[in-house]
Structure 1
Amino acid sequence: MIFYSTSDKNAERPTSGQKNAFAVTTAKESGSASSVGQGHPKQVPVPLTWKLASILLVSAIGFGSQWSSGITGAMKSTLKKELKINNTQFALIEASEDFMVTLLMLISGIVTDRIGGAGAILYGNAIYSVGSIMVAAAAQIRSYKFFVSGRVILALGDIATQVAQYKIFSSWFPPNNGFASTLGLELGIGKIGAFVGKSSANIIAKNTGNFAWVFWVAVFMNIFTNIMTGIFYWFTRVANRKFCSIDDPATGEKLAEKNKKFELRKVLELPWVFWCIQAFSLLETSTAIVFLQNATELAEQRFGTDSVTAGWYSATLQYAGFFIVPCLGVFIDVFGNRISLLTFCGVGVFISMCLVNWARTTSGTAAAFGIYAFAYSFGPTTIIDSIRTSMWHSSVFGSAYALKITMNNAMNIIVRVITGVIQDRDNDSYDNVTIVYMVLAAGSVLVSMMLVMLSWKSVDLGNLQWTRKKRIARGEFINERKRAFYEENGARNKLISMACFASLAALVLGSWVAYFWGVATGNND
């Protein structure tokens, strides 16, 4: 693939066999990580205009897809009324999509590593659009079963696209050299798209007199997304012919968008540091996703307002920090400190959940929303970049990120079904549901504190704190740790990795049990 690397040349210490950490190598799109940079001497480094264009195209794709992401949660009270369903049944709408993700996401990640991100986005968005049309049609005819079916098809497309764009970024930019900055910019623009979609959903429903129009507008946004996707696919093919790839300036690893073969062994032997980040994401991300699903209805109850005003409150809660995210990405690239940022995020979300649970007045809930909006902005970029930095092989980043999504969605199913049942038994109140949010947030704080202590003792985890200059200066040391991981402690590390993988499999199976229990007992007629 293509794109640039920024680094401090004075800090570079090339390893033996690294060739030149700053040398630009050549690569065909079909090349693997081991073959990148061979046989194409006429290729030249990508110019700045192409770099910016590529980021803007992917951001445009993200804007369109994120527009649709929050509208179901924003329409919760309306959907319950129009489709004549209860909280458990509504939870199953979201859980049905989560179920498909847990079933197919890992396969999608492995395939994306093999075929590349651009191709996966192309066919994924096409499937997503079909699902979006089905959801809009289901809303038009007020069919709960058809609505769930549409969400399942929509999930199949979303499965293909979720991993693909971050896989593309990982093949363009190494850790501390543009990955977090690019990721932050894309997530920031995506937040704007999601804010517009979520905040306008109830306005569209109220002004048109038919809530189905919200989902038809989402269909039009998906058409825009498909157009941008087609342009990006063409752009990628041209770029691969004209320009060359790069090496990681610290380790000398050659970056590539896709591999020549499936690399399952590397997926099964992901380092323990990766699983530490997974543990934090398991609790913090699941807290955020399930809380945000219900934020609009919670705002209606706590602020005593209508769905339109509540939609603005919850949209602001989720997306107000859009301007922070790009700045955070630049900070991570230059200064590192990922574990510190994860701890700040975890503590902030925990404080906001405590206020949601105990300060149930209007002012208390408003304060909770404000703290949450700021603290949660530090989460997604830091988690994804930490996953990328923790890995020995960038060639399987798609699979690693797919594991994260699989884990989060499995946890979401369990939490959504449980909170849906609790709310139905609590006369539609959130008084007891918020206790679940608070417990999950407390768990993420405990994990982050554990990460801080481990980072002082283990260099493999501590390097997530390194600045750009330090990572480049200690590239040879990183390669030595990689060698030791496989050669000196290979049996033990493989056992730890397999145990973590087995734990994830058990969580997924547990989520399936919860899902089918919800289907069996949720009166989903």
Structure 2
Amino acid sequence: MASPVASIGEKQPASNRSDNDDVPSTTEKQVHTTTAAVTDIDNHDHDNDDASSIASVGGRTKTVPRRVKFLSVILVSLIGFGSHWSSGVTGAMKTALKKGMGINNTQYALLDATDNFIKSVLIIATGLYTDRLGGASTLVWGNLLFTAGSVLVAAATTTRNFNFMIGAMVIQSLGDVATQVAQYKVFSSWFAPSDGFASTLGFELGLGKIGSFVGQSTANVIATHLGDFSWTFWMSVVMNVFTNLVTVAFYIFTRWCNKHYSSKGKTDPATGEVLTEKNRKLEWNKFVRLPWPFWAIIAFTACQTTAASVFGTNATELAEQRFNVSSIKAGFYSSLTQYMGFFLVPLLGLFIDVFGNRLTVMFVCGTGMFLSMSLIMWCTSMSGTAAGFGFYAFAVSLGPTVIIDAIRTSLWYQEVFGSAYAVKICLNNAMSIIFRIVTGVIQDHDGDTYNHVIIVYVILAAGSLVVGLSLVAFSLPWASPISLGRLQWTRKQRFARGDKINAQRDAFETNAKASQNRQLSIFFFGLLAILTLGAWACYFWGVATGHND
């Protein structure tokens, strides 16, 4: 954008000012514009006659070319490709790991839950400091830690040392916990809701699905043809080295951008909010006052993402049993069903940016999850299981993009997006710890089958369906036209109603509702703390059970 644009008044409210060093302490004059004018400015920055809008600030131009933004998206997406490739390996190697390491389902669940445990412990602090320090620098040290951990994991599989592998997973998780928040924080600092944020998410997640597909479908092929399953993890190390090289390139690129472009050129065209890559201080006060629509999205991801995550980890072994095929074919089938929707994800991002309807997409996603898990539970034939996998492939393609974009759209302040996204990761990992440990125990007591484990998947999927339907109902004009209803707005509606967003944001922090919103948010944080403590208890119980088995 050539200049910040607001939809109301002539001066930007104090709440719109960023804590970024590039933002002056005094308010800036804003340009009163229509939706058509916004579009014109967006497409023709160089035609703006206002010389001040393109003048340099501290030697840096305010206008950020689209090609620069696009290059940043490409680099971050390549970083995500490598991490997704690595994440696809462990789930596909479940059978090989159990046989090669001499462990049972409970111990495997413990191994898988270690990653979730570390993330649930550190992710909130990581989110706060990512907002403070910026996404680029966090990506660098996070990927270095992740690569070091992957080397140790590969060494542990070579030596067949389960305890060593647990420790290696801890180090790897320390790196992963940093990079998960950082890459999407970068996107939020370049793009606003309905103005490219969902599209960039769709591109990155679509490319990530390709990486996960390649990693999962080739994991058992590499292990079989090279004669040892540990070679798969060494190949993961090679991919992580590539990821580090791209990360360094992105860091250098970011430093160059900071020297040539001012952050004042990156604004939300609807509200005039300046988008920041990092803040002057920890935004603790804004963090503890997250709005209730954000917590509504968290309720959906608690059910949908947990069901998708736990099922995805066991999909390869389930395919082996249901289709009676080798681990190589099962890995290909499960990876195909989980990641075949990679081409839908970028299209979904474009759809959300233009047409909105985020809550409707969530409802469709929850419906697909419930249908898929129901088919796998009650139709145990090969055709029924295949149909269930098909519905799962469709539903799981919708979830991440719409959830992350809905979280960003529900927030009043972009400065705390990293922290808010960290809350989502914390919840998802706490839920995954509990359900992976529980389902591992159920499977061990059920003859290593999935007959009773599927019941847990169905319950979680049903929860996502109910929450999705409730969100759509409460977004209707008679219920919540602004707070929740704005997640349904199209691009044109959001640009035209920026004044309403600003007005409700001001009411959120100034009138009698401010105290109520703060108390409600603290209440939900309390529930999250209880859930996280319960997950830690499950994890340490798993440690004791796994070592005594």
Alignment TM class, shorter chain as reference: over 0.9
Structure 1 residue identity aligned to 2:499: E
Tell me if structure 2 keeps the 8 A contact 1:70–1:194: yes
Between the aligned partners of 2:300 and 2:219, the Cα distance in structure 1 is 32
Task: Verify: 1:277 aligned to 2:297, yes or no.
Answer: yes
Between the aligned partners of 2:261 and 2:518, the Cα distance in structure 1 is 38
Between the aligned partners of 1:195 and 1:265, the Cα distance in structure 2 is 41
Secondary structure of 1:70's partner? helix
* CA spacing shift, 1:407–1:159, aligned 2, 3 Å: same
Between the aligned partners of 1:160 and 1:174, the Cα distance in structure 2 is 22
1:284-324 residue CA offsets vs partner (Å, 9 max, x unmatched):
00000000000000000000000000000111111111000
Of 504, 510, 525, 1:481 maps to 504
Tell me if structure 1 keeps the 8 A contact 2:267–2:275: yes
Cα root mean square deviation, aligned: 2.1
Residue 509 of structure 1 corresponds to which residue in structure 2? 533
Of 55, 76, 87, 1:69 maps to 87
Of 87, 98, 109, 2:116 maps to 98
Residue 360 of structure 1 corresponds to which residue in structure 2? 380
Between the aligned partners of 2:155 and 2:322, the Cα distance in structure 1 is 33
Of 485, 490, 514, 1:467 maps to 490
Structure 2 residue identity aligned to 1:502: G
Residue 287 of structure 1 corresponds to which residue in structure 2? 307
Of 453, 456, 459, 1:436 maps to 456
Residue 343 of structure 1 corresponds to which residue in structure 2? 363
* CA spacing shift, 1:275–1:27, aligned 2, 3 Å: closer
Residue 134 of structure 1 corresponds to which residue in structure 2? 152
Deviation of 1:283 (Å):
0.5
Residue 278 of structure 2 corresponds to which residue in structure 1? 258
Deviation of 1:36 (Å):
11
Residue 52 of structure 2 corresponds to which residue in structure 1? none
* CA spacing shift, 1:466–1:5, aligned 2, 3 Å: farther
Task: Verify: 1:52 aligned to 2:70, yes or no.
Answer: yes
Larger deviation, residues 49-58 vs 176-185 = 49-58
Deviation of 1:487 (Å):
1.8
Between the aligned partners of 2:180 and 2:26, the Cα distance in structure 1 is 27
Between the aligned partners of 1:444 and 1:35, the Cα distance in structure 2 is 45
Deviation of 1:29 (Å):
7.4
Residue 247 of structure 2 corresponds to which residue in structure 1? 229
Between the aligned partners of 1:173 and 1:283, the Cα distance in structure 2 is 28
Tell me if structure 1 keeps the 8 A contact 2:92–2:313: yes
Task: Verify: 1:217 aligned to 2:235, yes or no.
Answer: yes
* CA spacing shift, 1:204–1:35, aligned 2, 3 Å: farther
Deviation of 1:523 (Å):
3.3
Task: Verify: 1:18 aligned to 2:12, yes or no.
Answer: yes
Question: Equivalent residues in 2 for 1:48-447 (5 A)?
Answer: 48-244=66-262, 245-447=265-467
Between the aligned partners of 1:57 and 1:6, the Cα distance in structure 2 is 26
Secondary structure of 1:522's partner? helix
Structure 1 residue identity aligned to 2:510: E
Residue 22 of structure 1 corresponds to which residue in structure 2? none
Deviation of 1:139 (Å):
0.5
Task: Verify: 1:458 aligned to 2:458, yes or no.
Answer: no
Tell me if structure 2 keeps the 8 A contact 1:126–1:226: yes
Deviation of 1:458 (Å):
0.6
* CA spacing shift, 1:515–1:422, aligned 2, 3 Å: same
Tell me if structure 1 keeps the 8 A contact 2:17–2:23: no
Secondary structure of 2:475's partner? helix
Between the aligned partners of 1:269 and 1:385, the Cα distance in structure 2 is 19
Unpaired segments ≥5 residues, structure 1: 20-24
Deviation of 1:16 (Å):
3.8
Structure 2 residue identity aligned to 1:168: V
Between the aligned partners of 1:518 and 1:498, the Cα distance in structure 2 is 30
Deviation of 1:247 (Å):
1.5
* CA spacing shift, 1:375–1:383, aligned 2, 3 Å: same
Between the aligned partners of 1:171 and 1:13, the Cα distance in structure 2 is 20
Deviation of 1:246 (Å):
1.7
Tell me if structure 2 keeps the 8 A contact 1:27–1:35: no
Deviation of 1:218 (Å):
0.4
Deviation of 1:31 (Å):
4.1
1:173-229 residue CA offsets vs partner (Å, 9 max, x unmatched):
010000000011010011111110110000000000011000000000000000000
Between the aligned partners of 1:26 and 1:505, the Cα distance in structure 2 is 31
Task: Verify: 1:449 aligned to 2:449, yes or no.
Answer: no
Deviation of 1:35 (Å):
8.7
Between the aligned partners of 1:305 and 1:246, the Cα distance in structure 2 is 52
Deviation of 1:18 (Å):
3.5
Secondary structure of 1:377's partner? helix
Tell me if structure 2 keeps the 8 A contact 1:297–1:310: yes
1:435-491 residue CA offsets vs partner (Å, 9 max, x unmatched):
000000001111111111111111210000000111111101111111111222111
Larger deviation, residues 378-387 vs 143-152 = 143-152
Percent identical among aligned pairs is 53
Tell me if structure 2 keeps the 8 A contact 1:132–1:215: yes
1:132-163 residue CA offsets vs partner (Å, 9 max, x unmatched):
00000001111111111111110000011000
Tell me if structure 1 keeps the 8 A contact 2:19–2:280: no
Between the aligned partners of 1:257 and 1:225, the Cα distance in structure 2 is 21
Tell me if structure 2 keeps the 8 A contact 1:28–1:240: no
Tell me if structure 2 keeps the 8 A contact 1:114–1:259: yes
Between the aligned partners of 1:194 and 1:5, the Cα distance in structure 2 is 38
Between the aligned partners of 2:545 and 2:403, the Cα distance in structure 1 is 35
Deviation of 1:34 (Å):
6.7
Deviation of 1:40 (Å):
3.1
* CA spacing shift, 1:109–1:364, aligned 2, 3 Å: same
Residue 520 of structure 1 corresponds to which residue in structure 2? 544
* CA spacing shift, 1:27–1:224, aligned 2, 3 Å: farther
Secondary structure of 1:314's partner? helix
Structure 2 residue identity aligned to 1:522: G
Deviation of 1:519 (Å):
1.1
* CA spacing shift, 1:431–1:446, aligned 2, 3 Å: same
Secondary structure of 2:374's partner? helix
Between the aligned partners of 1:27 and 1:358, the Cα distance in structure 2 is 53
Residue 494 of structure 1 corresponds to which residue in structure 2? 518
Structure 1 residue identity aligned to 2:420: A
Tell me if structure 2 keeps the 8 A contact 1:122–1:230: yes
Between the aligned partners of 2:425 and 2:117, the Cα distance in structure 1 is 11
Tell me if structure 1 keeps the 8 A contact 2:18–2:279: no
Structure 2 residue identity aligned to 1:325: V
